[in-house]
Amino acid sequence: MMILGLVRWMQPVHGYDVRRELLSWSADKWANVQPGSIYHALRKLTDEGLLRTVSVEQVGARPARTTYEVTAKGEEEFETLLRAQWWQLNETPDPFVAAFSFLPAMPRDEAAAALRNRANLIRAGIESMRASLDSDWVRNRKPVHVGWMFELWLARAEADMGWCLRIAERIESGVSYLPAGMERAEGWSGWQDGGPPCGEDAD
Amino acid sequence: MMILGLVRWMQPVHGYDVRRELLSWSADKWANVQPGSIYHALRKLTDEGLLRTVSVEQVGARPARTTYEVTAKGEEEFETLLRAQWWQLNETPDPFVAAFSFLPAMPRDEAAAALRNRANLIRAGIESMRASLDSDWVRNRKPVHVGWMFELWLARAEADMGWCLRIAERIESGVSYLPAGMERAEGWSGWQDGGPPCGEDAD
DNA sequence: AGCACTGTAGTCAAATTTGGCTATTACGCT
DNA sequence: AGCGTAATAGCCAAATTTGACTACAGTGCT
């Protein structure tokens, strides 16, 4: 829960503020926090004693606005959580990798086309990121580490793009998907390209 | 749901088989499927008419073993889902990036140390991946695209590692975190390194 | 034969996440 | 002044995910 971090950083705040800040970072992309989660998180953190409610204002007949701030215990917990993320390496799930593992279920030409398309999408992303990086907005109005995050995305994107192109070429070159050791040997009957495999337990 | 894909690929199967296969791919890492999710997913897919139960065997007094296979509708849906992932680019959430956005909350020396540590962890990962790639196991016993997935991880890991080292250096060099335009100007009072910010709404 | 372990198969309650919904005020336009 | 739209603030039911748990059958060891 990095909601806690945000509250710590903006306290005292109410839910809607947090939500706006998250959206403005388009953090629903790289954290997993959709608007709806926020209020739940705030309440849970309060129950756990990491946050404290400061006040509950009411303007007119609108929903009450609850303001939160971080307790000493919350402060401590945040440090712990933060360090956990900084010092640990944790692979995060990637749906494309999952999909790629089903490569043999795609016709060769479509697979190659999709990879090239992907490379193009990534290239477009790279360009707009480059533009942002050079823009006054990021260079002079934002803390420098925001730019550094862009650089990370850039580096990853370039790695991905290169890979897509390399793999597209290999697929087009028509190499067999079968394990090198067993060109047309046992058990791989279901591994034709594109066709629905009718196979057994492989491995 | 790429459970569907697996069932399609191994049909007819029962839940436990799917679970074993997923664990053997350590897919809990790069897909988001913990053992518990599987049975729920199977039932849901059956309700939606994408799967069909083939049989319910019972060996002794053990839990009944339900076997599934894919229906025509499931076949179709799988194609759709698969294509969605192949043709679309979707950023996936990364907890490290989230944590990195709180850089100013970390003491400089710790931040740099953590990044170097991270680089080392990644390097270790890279080496073991290289070893796998060269191993007979992957080279000759697995479909070639498994190796390609390793290459993707490798490329990303290398990008990450390089970035970590570059950023560590910059942090050590003592550059200010403040936006370049406003060395010690308005509103950034809470942006000292390490200290808990007592700031306002930034931006 | 008795016992501990591991593997098989799946269940379940609790935690989390989602994303659409309500209801009010402010603002801009004609 | 009237009206439509956007912003404010938060709620909630449903879907999903998690991780721990049950219960039985082989297997090996002493």
- pLDDT at res. B196: 42
* Strand, coil or helix: B89: coil
Amino acid B59 CA to nucleotide D26 C1' distance, rounded Å: 13
B19 pLDDT more than 60: yes
Whole-number distance in Å between B30 CA and D27 C1': 34
Q: Could you identify the residue whose CA is nearest to the C1' atom of nucleotide C16?
A: A37
Instruction: Using the predicted structure, report yes or no on whether residue B68 has a pLDDT greater than 80.
Output: yes
* Rounded-to-integer distance, Cα A71 and Cα A46, Å: 9
Confidence band for A141, pLDDT divided at 50, 70 and 90: confident
Per-range mean pLDDT, top range of B21-35, B139-153, B173-187:
B139-153
Angstrom distance, B61 CA to D30 C1': 29
pLDDT of residue A181: 62
Question: What percent of chain B has a predicted confidence (pLDDT) above 70?
Answer: 88
pLDDT tens digits along A86-110: 999 988 889 999 999 999 999 999 9
Does residue B201 register a pLDDT over 70? no
**Shortest CA gap B165–chain A (Å):** 11
Is residue B21 helix, strand or coil?
Answer: helix
Beta bridge partners of A52: A69
Q: What is the 3-state secondary structure (H, E, C) of chain A?
A: CCHHHHHHHHCCEEHHHHHHHHHHCCHHHHCCCCHHHHHHHHHHHHHCCCEEEEEEECCCCCCCEEEEEECHHHHHHHHHHHHHHHHCCCCCCCHHHHHHCCHHHCCHHHHHHHHHHHHHHHHHHHHHHHHHHHCHHHHHHCCHHHHHHHHHHHHHHHHHHHHHHHHHHHHHCCCCCCCCCCCCCCCCCCCCCCCCCCCCCCC
Which nucleotides of strand D are protein-proximal, with an atom < 7 A from a CB?
Answer: 8-13, 16-20, 22-26
B53 vs A189, residue with greater confidence? B53
Which nucleotides of strand C lie within 7 A of protein CB?
A: 7-13, 16-20, 22-26
Any strand C atom closer than 7 Å to B147 CB: no
User: How sure is the predictor about B180, in pLDDT bands with cuts at 50, 70 and 90?
Assistant: low
Burial (CB count within 10 angstroms: exposed 0-12, middle 13-18, buried 19+), residue B64: exposed
Q: For A14-42, write each residue's pLDDT tens digit.
A: 999 999 999 888 877 788 889 889 999 99
Contacts of B149 in chain A (CB under 8 A): 97, 100-101
Question: Is the pLDDT at B199 greater than 70, yes or no?
Answer: no
Answer yes or no: are the C-beta atoms of A31 and A22 closer than 8 Å.
Answer: yes
Sheet holding A13-14, edge to edge: A13-14, A65-70, A51-57
Interchain contact, B82 vs A105, CB within 8 Å: yes
pLDDT at position A32:
81
Q: Would you say residue A193 has pLDDT above 70? A: no
pLDDT higher than threshold 70 for residue A191: no
Average pLDDT over residues A108-121: 97
Partners of B70 in the beta sheet?
B51
- Across the interface, whether the CB atoms of A196 and B148 are under 8 A apart is answered no
Most confident of A141-150, A179-188, B57-66: A141-150
Q: Tell me the three state secondary structure of residue B134.
A: helix
Residue of B4, B81, B103, B172 to mutate for A, most A C-beta atoms under 10 A: B103
* pLDDT, tens digit, 9 for 90 and up, residues A56-75: 988 777 788 999 999 999 99
For residue B160, pLDDT over 90 is answered with yes
Going by pLDDT thresholds of 50, 70 and 90, the confidence category of residue B182 is low
Q: How far is the CA of A190 from the C1' of C12 (A)?
A: 36
SS3 at position B182: coil
Computed over every residue of chain A, the mean pLDDT equals 86
CA-based nearest distance B179→chain A, Å = 4
Q: How many CB atoms lie within 10 A of CB A153?
A: 20
Q: What is the reported pLDDT for A7?
A: 87
Residues 55-74 of A with CB under 7 A from strand C: 59-63
Answer whether any strand D atom is within 7 A of the Cβ of A10. Answer: no
CA distance A84 to B106: 12
Q: Which residue in the set B31, B103, B170 is minimally distant from A98, CB to CB?
A: B31
Confidence of residue A142 (pLDDT cuts 50, 70, 90): confident
Is the pLDDT confidence value at B187 over 60?
no
Residues 6 or more apart whose Cβ sits within 8 Å of residue B138: B132, B146, B147, B150
Give B122 to chain A, closest Cα distance, Å.
8
Report whether A104 contacts A188 (CB < 8 A).
no
The 10s digit of each residue's pLDDT in B77-109 is 999 999 999 999 988 889 999 999 999 999 999
Predicted local distance difference test score (pLDDT) of residue B202: 35
Please check whether residue B144 is in contact with residue B190, taking contact to mean a CB–CB distance below 8 angstroms. no
Give B187 or A81, the one with higher predicted confidence.
A81
Distance between CA atoms of residues B12 and B203, nearest Å: 56
Question: 0.85 exceeded by the pTM?
Answer: yes
CA distance B163 to B176: 18
User: What would the mean pLDDT of B24-28 be, rounded to a whole number?
Assistant: 83
Residue-level pLDDT at B181:
62
Query: What secondary structure letter does DSSP report for B105?
Result: G
Furthest CA-CA distance within chain B: 76
